[in-house]
Amino acid sequence: MDSYQVIKRPLHSEKAVEDRDRRNAYHFEVDTRANKIEIKNAIEKLFNVKVLNVRTMIVNGKKRRSRYKIGTTPDWKKSIVTLQEGNTIDIGY
């Protein structure tokens, strides 16, 4: 899988900003088929940094209602990538 297909987008939330400041960890939405090794290689290739640890989780979709029908948003995969000290990623926040 190509590096640009593995990493979908960086996540910008209050928790993600706090992790970045305290632990040098960045949150990304990744492809659901990607494993930790592919995520690590993609981050190292795209941002030219050294990755220490990759943690992944599946985020379940939320229930949504549109008039009389109830549906769910799709499930997606989240990755928390911890970098070596001194390495940073500039993702615009």
- How many residues are listed for the chain in this entry? 93
Q: What is the pLDDT of residues 5-14, one digit of tens each?
A: 999 999 999 9
Percent of the chain beyond pLDDT 90? 95
End-to-end CA distance of the chain: 28
pTM: 0.91
Mean pLDDT of the chain: 95
Domains of the chain: 3-83 (3.30.70.330)
Q: Per residue of the chain (93 residues), what is the pLDDT tens digit?
A: 899 999 999 999 999 999 999 999 999 999 999 999 999 999 999 999 999 999 999 999 999 999 899 999 999 999 999 999 999 999 886
Helix (H/G/I), strand (E/B), else coil: 72: strand
Question: What tens digit of pLDDT does each residue of 74-83 get?
Answer: 999 999 999 9
